[in-house]
Amino acid sequence: MADADPVRKKSDLGARTVSAVVMLAVAGAALWLGGSVWTAFVCVIALGVLWEWVKLSRAAMTDPMHRGLMNFAGMFYIGVGAAMLLFLRNPAFSLAPLLTVLLTVIGVDIGAYFTGRALGGPKIAPAISPSKTWSGLLGGVLGATLVLFGAARFWQEGMISILAQGNAADGLSCFGSQPCWYLTASSVALFASCLMTGLFVAVCAQAGDFFESWLKRRAGVKDSGNFIPGHGGFFDRADGLLAVLFLLALMILFQPR
């Protein structure tokens, strides 16, 4: 029995690696092709997450009214996140904005995972998610900040373009008609801004993760599903990204005009 755990962990690692490669290949191909392929991909993922959300709600809540409200909230929350993915992959933009969002959330996950494992320390909310530590959150902030700073520097140097027509239109902000100060900001000011944004993204992503963990604990399950070998379900993979996309959509909708 003592040798079972290492064997199982090795098997899980192999399954996780293969699944991750397949997921990246499928998502990358859909993102590159865009159009109807990207729309179909986003819709499939959104429906998968919603299906798992409904199953978790059914197991976590006994009152029909509470279930109904939770399912309505899920449709709104997931729908807004999916709409944001479609909005960012439209002909008006290059791939840079969407890739920046996706890579920033990935940066949070990677930074939190490795920093949390290396440093450990106090848990954030052990009753909800025993594996999440404050050191992991700080690592997630650092990971997000580095991705954002790299993207901002590429933008400054003209190596990437926000809008599809090229750098000539990039003097306009994505959030209005005022010239974007990022284009001429110093490295120190740029890093400070990316740090604050990285903190916001990391906290949002972690909040999305905690919410799903809370819902799974109420439902009495470890994973939201078993569709992805070694990774669980769609909701397990998209919980942090959904939270970030949802709040980003609200920021765009309610920005000052």
Which residues are 93's β-sheet partners?
A: 163
Radius of gyration of the chain, Cα coordinates, nearest whole angstrom: 19
Q: DSSP character for 126?
A: T
pLDDT of residue 19: 75
Q: What is the mean pLDDT of the chain?
A: 84
Q: For residue 196, how many other CB atoms are within 10 A of its CB?
A: 13
pLDDT of residue 5: 41
Tell me which of 152 and 79 has the higher pLDDT.
79
pLDDT of residue 73: 94
On the question of pLDDT at 2 being above 60, the answer is no
The string of pLDDT tens digits covering residues 47-103 is: 999 999 999 999 999 888 999 999 999 999 999 999 999 999 988 888 888 999 999
Beta strands in 71-140 (DSSP E): none
The string of pLDDT tens digits covering residues 134-145 is: 999 999 999 999
Which amino acid is present at 214?
Answer: W
pLDDT of residue 118: 87
pLDDT of residue 6: 41
pLDDT of residue 178: 47
The string of pLDDT tens digits covering residues 168-198 is: 444 444 444 444 556 666 788 889 999 999 9
DSSP alpha helices (H): ranges in 120-186?
Answer: 134-156
From residue 24, give the alpha-carbon distance in Å to each of 28, 95, 243.
6, 16, 20
